[in-house]
Amino acid sequence: MAKIIGGVATTHVPAIGKAIADKKFNDPYWRPFFGGFDYVHYWLAREKPDVAVVFYNDHGLNFFLDKLPTFAVGAASEYRNEDEGWGIPVSRSIAGDPALSWHIINALVADEFDITMCQDMLIDHAVTIPMTLMWPGEKWPVKIVPISINTVQHPLPSMKRCLKLGRSVGRALESYPQDLRVMVVGTGGLSHQLDGKRAGFVNKEFDSLCMDALAGDPDTLTLYSIHDVVEEAGAQGVEFLNWMAMRGALTGRVTEVHRNYHIPISNTAAATVVYENGDGAERRAA
Ligand code: DHB
Ligand code: FE
C-alpha cells in the first residue's frame, strides 16, 4: 500500500529561480532563505519519496481568467514548464504518474469534489521553484501529481474546503495498492501582496499563528473567511490555501520537524516547513 511519509510547504517566489541560476546561495540576501533547505535535503535523502502530490496555484499560465477551475488535477505523464514574464530560466519537464492521478481523480469525484481533470497541463513557478529547491541536482527523483487550487480569481474556495480536499486526497493515497512512498507539497505564501495600495504588505504575527496551528489543529484555521485571510495575509497571502490542502492530506499524527521563516524574499514572507506523518501503528495508539 502507498504510505504518506510527510510533507513540505514552501514559498514559490520566482526570484528564487533567478538566484538559483546565478548561484547566489551564499549571498547575504539569500543565505537566510537557502539555509532553510539544508534540513529539507537531509529529510528527503532519508525519507526517499517516490511521488510528490503538489498543491499549488496556477498564475495564469495553464488557466487564465476566462476559464479558471477551482480545483484541477493533473493526469499527464509529463508536465512542461513555460513560465512567462518572471525572468527565470524555463525549467526541464517533470514526470507524472497518470495511474496515481486517475486513482486520486476517481476518489475525489466519488467524494463529491467536482474537479477538472487535465491530461495536458503546463506547470509554472509554483511547482518548478519548490521542486528545484527540494532537489537542486540534475535529476528529479520523484514523479508528481499536481493539484491546482484557484487563489487568483474570486470567489476562492474556503480554508475549510481546501482542508477537506486534502483529506480526501489523503484517504485516496492510503487506499492506493502500490507500495509507494508519497510526500505532499504545499506551495506559495506566506503573507504577501504584490499590487495595489498594500503592495509589500507582510504580517509576521498572522504567519506565525497559521504555522503554529497547522500541524496540530488545522481546523481552527477554518474559522478565517477568505476575506479575513486577504486582510491578514495580503491579496496573494491566500496561497496559504495550498498549505491547508497539503496539511489535510497528512492523515496521521502530524509533527512539524523543521521551520524556517525569513522576511522578505522579494515581496513575500518566505517560509519553509517540514511535516512528518506518524505511521499507522502510531495512529492506532493515539
Ligand atoms: C512573488 C511571490 C509570488 O507568490 C508569486 O507567485 C510571484 C511573485 C514575489 O514576492 O515577488
Ligand atoms: Fe505566487
Q: pLDDT value at position 138?
A: 82
Annotated catalytic residues are: 125, 192
Q: Tell me: pLDDT of 75 over 90.
A: yes
- Percent over 90 (pLDDT), the chain: 93
Tens digits of per-residue pLDDT, 76-87?
999 999 887 788
Q: Is the CB of 146 under 6 A from ligand 1?
A: no
DSSP summary character for residue 191 = S
| Closest alpha carbon to 258 in 54, 45, 41 | 41
**Residue 49 φ then ψ, to 5°:** -70, 150
Question: For the residues 103-118, what does the mean pLDDT come to?
Answer: 98
**Mean per-residue pLDDT, 120-140:** 95
Counts of helices then strands in the chain (DSSP H, E): 10, 11
Q: Residue 258's Cα: distance from chain center in Å?
A: 16
Q: What is the pLDDT of residues 168-225, one digit of tens each?
A: 999 999 999 999 999 999 999 999 999 999 999 999 999 999 999 999 999 999 999 9
Pairing of strands 143-149, 78-81: unpaired
Q: Is the CB of 161 under 6 A from ligand 1?
A: no
Who's near 276: CB < 8 A, 6+ residues apart? 5, 6, 254, 255, 257
Q: What is the mean pLDDT of residues 38-57?
A: 98
Cell 496540530: give the residue.
216
75 contacts 109 by C-beta, under 8 angstroms: no
DSSP 8-class letter at 96: B
Q: Give the three cell numbers for residue 29.
A: 540576501
Would the CB of 59 count as within 6 Å of ligand 1? Answer: yes
Please give the Cα distance from 265 to 270 (Å, whole number): 6
pLDDT band at residue 282 using 50, 70 and 90 as cut-offs: low
pLDDT at 20: 95
Sign, CA dihedral 77-82-83-89, equals positive
pLDDT of residue 83: 80
The chain-wide mean pLDDT, for the chain, equals 96
Give the domains, in start order, of the chain with CATH numbers: 3-188+236-258+272-285 (3.40.830.10)
Closest-lying ligand 1 atom to the alpha carbon of residue 236: 4
Rg (CA), the chain: 17
pLDDT of residue 284: 46
Give the SS3 label for residue 163.
Answer: helix
